[in-house]
Amino acid sequence: MTYSVVLCGCGAMAKGWLRAVQSTPDLRDALRIVGLVDLNEDVAQALAAEFGLADVVIGTDLQTVLEATKAEIVFDVVIPAARHVVVTTALAHGCHVLSEKPMANSMEEAADLLKAAAKAGKIHSVVQNRRFISGVRRMHRLVESGAIGDITAIHCDFFIGPHFGGFREKMDNVLLLDMAIHTFDAARYVSGKTPLSVYCLETNPSGSWYAHGASANAVFRFSDDVVFTYRGSWCAEGERTSWESAWRIVGTKGMLTWDGEDGFKASVAGSEDGLLRGFAPVEVPPPSRDEETHGHASVIADFLDAIRTGRAPETAGEDNIRSLAMVFGAIESARLGRSVELAA
């Protein structure tokens, strides 16, 4: 069966979505792009030309293009501020919706989207593409295997200095809202724990080229007394970390580090006498399924499988709202200058 898709928001990221669809045979066969929507019609026209989409309806209003195309799926790749209206319009039209992250611009909007999806009886999922990569899957597998014991802490460092221009340099809470959710979501996934509370110090460091919140330092308490710390800056010039963060996972038997690229080191206590016991290396297993490691293509495939089978997608709105709660909890903590509890 082929599903008809309208893609709404034809900016930078939309190209990544179309590349993922066009370069993945199963997705190419199952999805037919029938409409493109952008407030700027020229941008939509240019995207259609770049990806050879000759027979698509192009417009500036989602409702109008949905009526013209009778699409079954909406790919939502608009900026976060426009997400609520786009998703509610798509759901009200009876479409399944896959949204870019972040799922919503506030917890109230997120809760409202869950209600709208339940009312429509449609799949509503979020592109949390950075959990669908080999490194995150490998960390998850090692933790699940128990090789380093029960985990007690996860520490992540994220220091990069990208000069995006555009909406990111004007928005509030830019690092927490636009980027940190990837690492927060991955920490929740790898640990398998529930975030309970957060204390966060958010700053816009001297020299920052962003309007607000280019740096954040957050300490989360997860269930089972697991601690997750995040130190991040988006205005850190010099030799950067990976976009996935640099990770250290501490367990009762040993530790795992991942540099966010190809460098894994896992080890447990060695057998030396004296103050320190030394260490014995542990092998980090490969991902159990290759198809879970292709970023956007994997999320889209998971979404499509959920539509076909009726199961919940891995990054369904109901699940993703817990990662969003980490972001908004951190923002609220920074605003209040104290720790805040996160909704279960």
Ligand X SMILES: NC(=O)c1ccc[n+]([C@@H]2O[C@H](COP(=O)([O-])OP(=O)(O)OC[C@H]3O[C@@H](n4cnc5c(N)ncnc54)[C@H](O)[C@@H]3O)[C@@H](O)[C@H]2O)c1
Assess 213 for contact with ligand X (CB under 6 A): no
Assess 131 for contact with ligand X (CB under 6 A): no
Yes or no: say if 241 and 161 are a contact pair by the CB < 8 Å rule. Answer: no
Q: Which is nearer to ligand X, 81 or 336 (CB)?
A: 81
Q: Which of 20, 21, 31, 37 binds ligand X (CB under 6 A)?
A: 37
Assess 162 for contact with ligand X (CB under 6 A): no
Q: Which is nearer to ligand X, 34 or 77 (CB)?
A: 77
Q: Alpha-carbon distance 37 to 7, whole Å?
A: 6
Residues 6+ apart with CB under 8 A from 54: 48
Taking CB positions, which residue lies at the least distance from ligand X? 11
Q: Which of 80, 195, 254, 317 binds ligand X (CB under 6 A)?
A: 80
Residues 6+ apart with CB under 8 A from 220: 184, 187, 195, 196, 197, 198, 227, 228, 229, 230, 326
The DSSP bridge partners found for residue 221 are 197, 227
Q: Alpha-carbon distance 255 to 276, whole Å?
A: 15
Yes or no: say if 266 and 147 are a contact pair by the CB < 8 Å rule. Answer: yes
Residues in region 260-289 near ligand X by CB under 6 A: none
From the list 34-42, 209-217, 283-291, 325-333, the region that binds ligand X by CB under 6 A is 34-42
Residues in region 89-118 near ligand X by CB under 6 A: 100-101
Label the pairing between strands 246-251 and 151-159.
antiparallel
What's the min distance (Å) between Cβ of 187 and ligand X?
17
Interface residues with ligand X (CB under 6 A) are: 8-14, 37-40, 43, 62, 77-80, 82, 86, 100-101, 127, 129, 166-167, 178
